[in-house]
Structure 1
């Protein structure tokens, strides 16, 4: 059924005066026709599959549990699927497109919901901006290989910024098509590598057996391995952000969530196992530690030739661009929804008359990210070791906290709402997922100094915690001052 809104001076259902927007097009609601595949492309692109195989995977192998690392992805996928059982089955009860905070508001009240909203916005803005710190140097390195030298990282970041801002202004389907092309390309090159290694009989030592070996799974620092695996999934939970732009959201959102999780989990598990196999199980830890930033490229060149190495170099950069574009769309919709609920300036909650996009919210997100990048450049921050690392630490803490809080909220929703879904969907699976997520949260806090490149808890680690204390504290403050706010 189409959404309707009143045109000033007209009766409900009356035709709009000449030149006025069609009253069937609600300016306070986004419009789109995203199917399951489109949403999956957006959220999987946010996870940046190629970026993960070239980044967190070598680190997880080197400093985690070595040849047992692929099994870690199975563990994390299982926990997140348990979380998804409650998350998706609660979708019909949570009508807002606000994702995390809409669930928290429904289950734990307005104060907690607003606190979650501020925490989510902080987390996603930090991640969108931080990935520019990876994209800029990555693009610079790529073009240096083709003879273009001396260009600062922020110039490439600025070019990507302009393209992302433009795409975010238009219909979500345009971003979805761009992300589909980029995602298919980056996944295809990794799967090509996987196929060559598998069908050639494995690597120098045959096929790795660490994924099936309990001793390998718990070797080294498995907790650290789980930490890197968790970070590799950030973005999957954003399926619910696109509720208003989805066809039949009560079916589309659950299906997209499950498919995104399973696709990401299988891809990471297979490709990390192949990377270990291709290099040899006995030497992979040493090799990954010494060449964490280049091991994917050198492995691809070994099995797919120089052309394969060039392709993966290009697609690594486009993977980061896809990640930025995905999170830009997520941030824009958080801002749009919060404005529509009266938390942020009302004008930011208006959809574009023609495109049905959160155009003003998108521009606001762009300005915020631009300020962060400019500050980083003026302060001379290292784009990877400082800018990305610090902002990535903020995002990691925030997303894990939000997953835990949302799990609690989902259980609370089902406890208060009669349901015929059964105990597994409404209590058992969500509770088991909550236990796993709490364990993940503990690992994140224990290893937070490592995430932000501190030897122990210092100003940046404590600063991140302080930011989220402030974000959650703002919830009840704003709720008391704005009693008319309705999140769901």
Structure 2
């Protein structure tokens, strides 16, 4: 056995995930996490309203370039480190075991906060929809709990089932948005078609830092391709291809979709339309160009889009917990694999319980599901992922400089370095504008770091600190286990 000194650990063969996922299936899993229709209908209007207005679509393209540079190094690492721990493993190999463990806890914070934020929004949308159709007024948190239960059932079973469900939902929501863009193009838009969103003066207008925050948040999940390594058909080929396909596909789609949204109302009117009601902008646009049928279909797909998002993140989190358990830093039982479903079923159950507890806490404190649960924790996740990817970029460079295993300078040094610079600048901008995300602003609208901002930002410091403390404890109490901390991840 290669597991840490822990009694009752099952044989490693029983703790390794297996599957035959191809490039398309993995891309579906991670792109569904980006929740395309939720981004186009929710984040894009807010990016236009609170960010840089007409120039917001360009920020998706800029974010895609930054993250594509990051993906080059990520793909290079996936070829040389055949393990599914992703950030946890890569940072551990490049910057040491303690920093790797800190990265694991940042990743857990990222995916948990983004998932629970969407659970809040999903519960609200479901509650609102039922009420608007003449049904009873059901509390949002009850709807959220119902969705958690459904996600838990799918997450408990074999991942092929989840990928099929996600694939169907993803095709439907991407399809309806592309139909809308086509309708706008064929009609010529409200003020004619133009490249106004990509004009430098529009890109730098308003609050581009806030816009960048919404843009990067839309990509969260693409980097998780490596976590499915053990379940990939040919991981050395599948994982790099899936990573590139995911970031390029997301970037092109969001840039095109948000450009279409601006063209639908015209550069001179889009900000006012978003200000009227950002939450309904996509539905009003659908009604304008595709009629009532398009509006109804979009409303349904908006719900399924968010469901696909939480299901995808559930699968990602359970596999992170599975990898961490097999490394001996989470309870051993989380590393178990179901004999029939071949899924990390115990980890799935624990993740389900975690979501239930968090939604329960938010409900007890009577937090608004959209303005607090969704907005606040999406902000935390965005900052955390930017920091985590910047850290991983450094780890990639250090690892290849030390090991000399890959002589491709662009893939192992230049691209990761450029990605690091872009990610650090993004993190600085996100932090500077973070108070706007949570509503901590002065009378004149300038950001002010209040209690809520400081509490949420503190989470990004506390979680990696947990990793460093845990690593120090393992090194002191179980030195042999510490020496194997990175290598003992099942793979």
With structure 2 as the length reference, what TM-score do the two structures score? Answer: 0.92
In structure 1, the partner of 2:114 is: 127
1:443 and 1:4 map into 2 onto residues whose CA distance is 43
Q: Deviations over 1:197-250 (max 9, x none)?
A: 1122x2121113213422222222222222211111111111111111111111
In structure 2, the partner of 1:178 is: 165
Q: CA separation of 1:400/1:187 partners in 2, compared to 1, >3 Å: closer, same or farther?
A: same
| Contact 1:4-1:26 within 8 A present in 2 as well | no
Q: Which of 458, 481, 488 is residue 473 of structure 2 equivalent to?
A: 481
Gaps spanning 5+ residues in structure 1: where? 6-20
Q: Are 1:277 and 2:263 counterparts?
A: yes
Stretch deviating more after TM superposition (462-471 or 344-353): 462-471
In structure 2, the partner of 1:374 is: 360
In structure 1, the partner of 2:6 is: none
Q: Are 1:217 and 2:203 counterparts?
A: yes
Q: Are 1:459 and 2:455 counterparts?
A: no
Offset of residue 352 of structure 1 = 0.6
Matches within 5 A, 1:60-459: 60-200=47-187, 202-455=188-441, 456-459=448-451
1:351 and 1:311 map into 2 onto residues whose CA distance is 38
2:407 and 2:15 map into 1 onto residues whose CA distance is 33
Q: Deviations over 1:273-312 (max 9, x none)?
A: 1111111111111111222111110010111110100000
CA RMSD of aligned residues (A): 1.8
Offset of residue 317 of structure 1 = 0.8
| Contact 1:208-1:276 within 8 A present in 2 as well | no
2:203 and 2:371 map into 1 onto residues whose CA distance is 29
Offset of residue 71 of structure 1 = 1.4
In structure 1, the partner of 2:7 is: none
| Contact 1:142-1:314 within 8 A present in 2 as well | no
Offset of residue 196 of structure 1 = 1.1
| Contact 2:400-2:406 within 8 A present in 1 as well | no
2:220 and 2:210 map into 1 onto residues whose CA distance is 16
SS at match of 2:20: coil
1:461 and 1:4 map into 2 onto residues whose CA distance is 43
1:106 and 1:332 map into 2 onto residues whose CA distance is 22
Offset of residue 390 of structure 1 = 2.6
2:270 and 2:460 map into 1 onto residues whose CA distance is 37
1:337 and 1:64 map into 2 onto residues whose CA distance is 38
| Contact 1:168-1:362 within 8 A present in 2 as well | yes
SS at match of 1:302: helix
SS at match of 2:278: coil
2:292 and 2:159 map into 1 onto residues whose CA distance is 36
Offset of residue 440 of structure 1 = 0.5
| Contact 2:57-2:198 within 8 A present in 1 as well | no
Q: Deviations over 1:144-194 (max 9, x none)?
A: 332223122122212211110000000011000000011111111101111
In structure 1, the partner of 2:35 is: 48
Offset of residue 420 of structure 1 = 4.4
| Contact 1:410-1:430 within 8 A present in 2 as well | yes
Offset of residue 4 of structure 1 = 12
| Contact 1:389-1:453 within 8 A present in 2 as well | no
| Contact 2:28-2:163 within 8 A present in 1 as well | yes
In structure 2, the partner of 1:10 is: none
| Contact 1:29-1:351 within 8 A present in 2 as well | yes
Q: CA separation of 1:175/1:389 partners in 2, compared to 1, >3 Å: closer, same or farther?
A: same
1:410 and 1:465 map into 2 onto residues whose CA distance is 26
| Contact 1:41-1:179 within 8 A present in 2 as well | yes
Aligned length: 468
SS at match of 1:26: helix
1:348 and 1:464 map into 2 onto residues whose CA distance is 28
1:4 and 1:154 map into 2 onto residues whose CA distance is 42
